Structure 1
């Protein structure tokens, strides 16, 4: 199947058979997902496997009324890590400044600052749409 065919023939499934998906199939799917490309191979996602009926029902309730979620045998919840690239980008920016001769590579103060950004500082920077450099 080529990419055009894959995109043009895809469909959204909203009706599920009452069949429990075997654990080995779920594990295989999760292993395949590991090979999905990501910038710098950061794989900035986490996946939660939900099989609990009550949890699936609650997910459906907070998912804009998509009640079909509750009837799925398994729900994979994908979480994106929006800070995954932040430190890497800061290090890349530092290296660019060194390459351009703007700062000296022995500028330990800047590297110390970059490597010591606390999680709260990162959250605050994101909240205020700030750059940490």
Structure 2
């Protein structure tokens, strides 16, 4: 998780936890392409991605592209689960705990619909450069 305004980076689970990220523009573009694809895709899970990376690589990319140093912290799964015990309805804690587990929230780029159809997507560095 990145907060550019406060220059903070938070890893969910640990710095080596993998995560797949996709820009909102790519989600819209790829969703439309998948919806319009022929033959029609039915009852099939479709994976898309801009980039799959670790939180460590994400932090390195953010600092390299922005040329700024960020403060860093880890939200460990045990700590998040402890917080959920006292605040079980907190949707953000649930989200963070799911991503901290590290399974089901990332997939290899080669397994994505966009990679199989040779559709380029914006990676983290590209998104950061465009956001400047």
Pairwise TM-score range, normalised by the shorter structure: under 0.3
Q: Which has the higher contact order (CA 8 A, sep 6+)?
A: 2
TM-score normalised by the chain length of structure 2? 0.26
TM-score normalised by the chain length of structure 1? 0.26
Structure having the larger proportion of residues in strand = 2
For the pair shown, which has the larger CA radius of gyration, 1 or 2?
A: 1
